[in-house]
Structure 1
Amino acid sequence: MKSIVLLLVEELNEFSKKEKKLRQRTNFLNELLNAKGYYSEALTTSAIEDYGVNLLRANRCILSTKQEVLRKYFPLHEIFEWHGRYITFIDAELEVAPEESEMLIISDEKMNVGQLIRDVENTFKYLYFFQQPANQPIFTSDHYFARLFDFPIEIDRQLIRKVTDIYGEYYDTLICFANNSTNVKAGAEQLHIHRNTLNYRIERIHELTQKDPRIWSDLWTLLYHFAYCFVQNFE
């Protein structure tokens, strides 16, 4: 019994150490996000001494859904867990074979590390929202509109209530319609439905939101608010 108790205490201590380390890493990333590129001497020192991140140089942020993928490519770099995904920072020349099939989201080089985190995270959300394939190295610079996930434009509160009500039923329809450049024939084929069914769904979105997906400005307004709903359900 004594041995069992000692073993349990040891396991609890190890768990507590891991939890403390995880909190410290999360707090470090939150400090980077809140610093907006202006780093205190204490944060700069902690970054280099504790995690090997040099805040005085331009860095790239790399995101993957799999920790082992980052470890394979960047074995000497600190890897952080971030909202169920994994990120690391490098300030050296990037060497990733373009033919590799693993998903890596790679930021530009910037001094503002907090912005790097937002860039890779927003690109990840953008790809999943628009149902784009993510099985290869992807550069944030190729996805400018991923910045919409910062939601710089104020959300229309009346519209978001309407979109929230229909999000679950019409999300796939709207995304497919947009991805096929509003081509009903191509969209219907991708959804495996009759084109009249797709037309009916588009008309229902119009009726329920007073925004017509067949008009480009209304479509982007809808996509913006659908993206907002997507993020609310994403985490």
Structure 2
Amino acid sequence: MNEEGEASMYELTHIQAQSIVDRMMKDIPYNINIMDRTGMIIGSGNKDRIGTLHHGAVQAIQKRRIVEIFEDEEFVKKGINLPIELNGNIIGVVGISGEVEVTRPFGNILKSAVILLIDNSIAMEKKNVQKNLKQEFFTQVINAETAYTQEMIDQALIYGIQLTRPFQIIYVESPTEIDEHFAISVPFFKMTQTSLCIVVQVADQIEDLQQALEKHYPNTLISMSNWNDKIADGLAQAKSAMRVLKGVYTNQKHISYANCDLIVDMLKSFKNDVRLERLAHVLEQNYELIKTLQIYINCNLNLNETASKLMIHRNTLNYRLNKINQATGKDPKNVMELMELILMLINRVE
């Protein structure tokens, strides 16, 4: 749609009009009225007039020019009425009540304020439409059942994505909100206010991306998928890897699906398994034990290193590991049972 088409359909709203009136009347000591394209008052310093027909505005619309009224009449009050015109279309009228000679200088200022608001609103609407189209496209491509049609392939090019080439997905979670205008040179979609899905098709870009993310969001967590032919598959891998990162690791901020795919596959086998949920529930009541278990795993089961990292005596560490065994029935010093505890840690992450 061209700008002329957008302007011809543009409708001033009561909220917009009243907002301008309230703001401008703080500086202009005269009553201000804003009318729609029919001459109906939609914003006024005199709230009783809202919803009534302004005859001076009707004249301004019909004559397509400024109408100055020098004397109060039965249906009109003296003042100045300026039609608001965009691309040859009158979309409303601005009126100021009072002596014409005094109110005339304020007329163009107020008219300019209204036009500026309209221009901003049209630009915002265009931006929102583009944003919604991008989000709709993203919703489609992250659906595993979606087949890439020619229409989607063409649309993807708008966002710098070639659906006919493999992808690597970088999934990002930040403890703070991520700026929507975050400047990176590859396509990305906001999943939530604090998470991103970045679509990479050139391997050399990954290191620069990580550095940019760490610079702007130092505490961000990053997970990477394998190369895939579908965005949905890559995002699923990256999100699964993120669960492993958040569930097991305490001092690591990056993880690749390739480094934890076996654990992810094992976790799929235990999906909705009540045993893992029970273990998680038991340990959730004691954060100290969860932290101890995570550090123990991160230290590759080295008791001395674990005790040092936790700043506790080795006997205290053994006491906590025994407490985990008593609470869950799984011994962290037994490799097979430790695997169940690892799956539990991951399973508790949403």
Alignment TM-score, normalising by the size of structure 2: 0.53
Amino acid at match of 1:160: E
- Following the alignment from structure 1 to structure 2, what is the Cα–Cα distance between the partners of residues 217 and 15? 57
Q: Unpaired segments of 5 or more residues in structure 2? A: 1-17, 24-42, 44-113, 215-219
**Structure showing greater relative contact order (alpha-carbon pairs closer than 8 Å, 6 or more residues apart):** 1
- Following the alignment from structure 1 to structure 2, what is the Cα–Cα distance between the partners of residues 141 and 116? 12
Deviation at 1:72, TM superposition (A): 5.2
Amino acid at match of 1:214: K
Seen in structure 2, the aligned counterparts of structure 1 residues 153 and 42 have a Cα distance that, compared at 3 Å, is farther
Segment of structure 1 superposing worse, 122-131 or 212-221: 122-131
Match of 1:183 in 2: 302
- Following the alignment from structure 1 to structure 2, what is the Cα–Cα distance between the partners of residues 198 and 209? 17
Deviation at 1:152, TM superposition (A): 3.8
Seen in structure 2, the aligned counterparts of structure 1 residues 230 and 97 have a Cα distance that, compared at 3 Å, is closer
Preserved contact between residue 60 and residue 108 of structure 1 (Cα < 8 Å) = yes
Please point out which of 194, 200, 205 is paired with 2:313.
Answer: 194
Q: Which structure: greater helix fraction?
A: 1
Preserved contact between residue 276 and residue 340 of structure 2 (Cα < 8 Å) = no
- Following the alignment from structure 2 to structure 1, what is the Cα–Cα distance between the partners of residues 124 and 324? 49
Q: Unpaired segments of 5 or more residues in structure 1? A: none
- Following the alignment from structure 2 to structure 1, what is the Cα–Cα distance between the partners of residues 264 and 127? 34
Match of 2:51 in 1: none
SS in 1 for 2:169: strand
Seen in structure 2, the aligned counterparts of structure 1 residues 96 and 154 have a Cα distance that, compared at 3 Å, is closer
Match of 1:133 in 2: 252
Query: Aligned residue pairs: how many?
Result: 225
Alignment TM-score, normalising by the size of structure 1: 0.74
Q: Which structure 2 residues correspond to residues 1-235 of structure 1 after superposition, within 5 A? A: 2-3=19-20, 4=23, 24-36=133-145, 38-49=147-158, 51-65=159-173, 73-74=184-185, 77-83=186-192, 84-97=194-207, 100=211, 102=214, 105-129=223-247, 130-134=249-253, 139-145=256-262, 147=264, 151-167=268-284, 169=286, 170-231=289-350
Preserved contact between residue 32 and residue 114 of structure 1 (Cα < 8 Å) = yes
SS in 2 for 1:120: helix
Deviation at 1:27, TM superposition (A): 3.9
Seen in structure 2, the aligned counterparts of structure 1 residues 154 and 188 have a Cα distance that, compared at 3 Å, is same
Q: Which structure: greater strand fraction?
A: 2
- Following the alignment from structure 2 to structure 1, what is the Cα–Cα distance between the partners of residues 275 and 263? 24
Match of 2:65 in 1: none
Preserved contact between residue 127 and residue 133 of structure 1 (Cα < 8 Å) = yes
Preserved contact between residue 33 and residue 114 of structure 1 (Cα < 8 Å) = yes
